[in-house]
Amino acid sequence: MTGPILVLKVAANTLKYYVFDIETKDPLAHGRVRGIGKPDAGEIWHETASPQIHLSDQNIPDIEAALTIALRMIADQGIQLTSLQAVTHRIIHGADRYSKAKFVDDEVIKTITELTPLAPAHNPAALAGIRAAEKCLPGVPQVAVFDTAFFAKLPAAVAKYALPRELSDRLHLRKFGFHGPTHRYVAERVSLLTGRHELKQIIVYLGRWSSISAVDSGHPIEVSTGFTPIEGLPMRTASGSIDPGIHRYVMEQTGMSIAEFDRLLQEESGILGLTGLPTMTEVWAAADAGDERAQLAIGICVHRIVSSIAAFHVVLGGAQAISFTGTAGEQDHRLRKAVCDRLACLGVELNEAINEKTHSTVRSRIISTTHSTIPVFVIQQREAFAIAHETAILLGWKHPIAAAAD
């Protein structure tokens, strides 16, 4: 029996919720609650009502209160809460403990708790979401989908850092990889579109957070993110990889604390730190106007993306597909062109007219020419659906990716 799945993404002060019928393309209901725990500062958006609902200046003391509001909005839209087949929680960190979705039980809760030091801002919020769902939806199965699960079985030579083994084992120091549901979903979509399961592909996820993965026949063999999501590409506000020696030097020279430097890396660096501008749209406009900082930021981003793709191409022994996804990956046709122009040496050739259709309603499209040695795709991210999809597999339903076809 199939039916609706409720997907929850919980952060310290925010709840995002989605209800999916796995056979359909779009959520039956979705919305978000912000300002949780801030007296009279809460805001609610229920985006699938007609008209959309927006409430401000609300008192939402905790996650349970936020979920209660969300469930009321869902029910008011005509969706029977008794029809929910599962409540699925996005869990940022499962380390290398899980390689697929798991039903929430005492062992899973214990693991999420134990891994809190690896994700102190996220795992406790997820646990609060699980406790809230237990109270608000008793008897409905709960499922955990881990951001790290897709990369849990990376080859040891890829996952391990060159650090003392005892220290690495004791403190779980390894490459975990992040944004797993999206990378898994895109890999399966491209395999479906090409009709090839044994496909060597590179997935380029560009957004507020960014990552690149190399996937061979559905199995990841490399990823740019590491022990934390900061490793790898520069992002909207995060630095990406830097020389570890910078940490000590900056803290000694400025008196910054570890927490202050960590905030610098995550919230004050990347595109924002290089340009002072919060979005790529503004960066492109500034670059067009001759702003050298904006031009440099674009150059850095393109260089790092191209370098990662080239390295992963070799790791794969020759990529057979490249896909762009994420907000910037889907919408920034100029960034895609700048990257693909640098990949001409690999035989990549864009169909520029198709590439420039930034706001295409098509969920998946090929943007390379028929002469391109490596086909290039744009795949709509659909993270919440990807999480629901993993839940459907766990529930034993038929493979649902095909249901999301264009």
- Domains defined along the chain, listed by start: 4-146 (3.30.420.40), 180-383 (3.30.420.40)
Q: Is the pLDDT of residue 402 over 80?
A: no
Q: 355: closest CA among 343, 368, 373, 345?
A: 368
pLDDT at position 247: 95
Alpha-carbon distances, residue 399 vs 89, 131, 286, 394 (angstroms)? 20, 29, 46, 10
Region 122-134: mean pLDDT is 96
Region 166-188: mean pLDDT is 96
- Residue 32 one-letter amino acid: R
The residues pairing with 213 across neighbouring beta strands, listed in sequence order, are 203, 223
Q: Is the pLDDT of residue 163 over 60?
A: yes
pLDDT at position 22: 83
Q: Is the pLDDT of residue 359 over 80?
A: no
* Catalytic machinery residues: 147
pLDDT at position 400: 58
pLDDT at position 121: 84
Mean pLDDT of the chain: 94
Query: DSSP assignment of 44-73, as one string?
Result: EEETTSSSPEEEEEE---SHHHHHHHHHHH
Distance CA 210, CA 335 (A): 13
pLDDT at position 157: 97
Least confident of 182-191, 308-317, 351-360: 351-360
Q: Give 405's pLDDT tier (boundaries 50, 70, 90).
A: very low
Distance CA 356, CA 340 (A): 13
The structure tokens listed for 18 are: 């989605």
Region 104-113: mean pLDDT is 96
pLDDT at position 358: 63
CA 119 to chain centre: 15
Q: Is 11 helix (H, G, I), strand (E, B) or coil?
A: coil
Inter-residue contact 277 to 287 (CB < 8 Å): no
How do strand 86-91 and strand 4-10 relate by DSSP bridges? parallel
pLDDT at position 190: 96
Region 175-184: mean pLDDT is 96
Q: 362: closest CA among 354, 372, 370?
A: 354
Q: Is the pLDDT of residue 360 over 60?
A: no
pLDDT at position 373: 98
Residue-wise pLDDT for 285-336, tens only, equals 999 999 999 999 999 999 999 999 999 999 999 999 999 999 999 999 999 9
Residue-wise pLDDT for 377-395, tens only, equals 999 989 999 999 999 999 9
Inter-residue contact 7 to 388 (CB < 8 Å): yes
CA 399 to chain centre: 21
Alpha-carbon distances, residue 396 vs 116, 207, 216, 265, 289 (angstroms)? 30, 32, 25, 41, 55
CB atoms within 10 A of CB 345: 7
Query: What percentage of the chain carries pLDDT values higher than 90?
Result: 90
Residue-wise pLDDT for 249-262, tens only, equals 999 999 999 999 99
Least confident of 21-30, 273-282, 336-345: 21-30
Query: What percentage of the chain carries pLDDT values higher than 70?
Result: 96
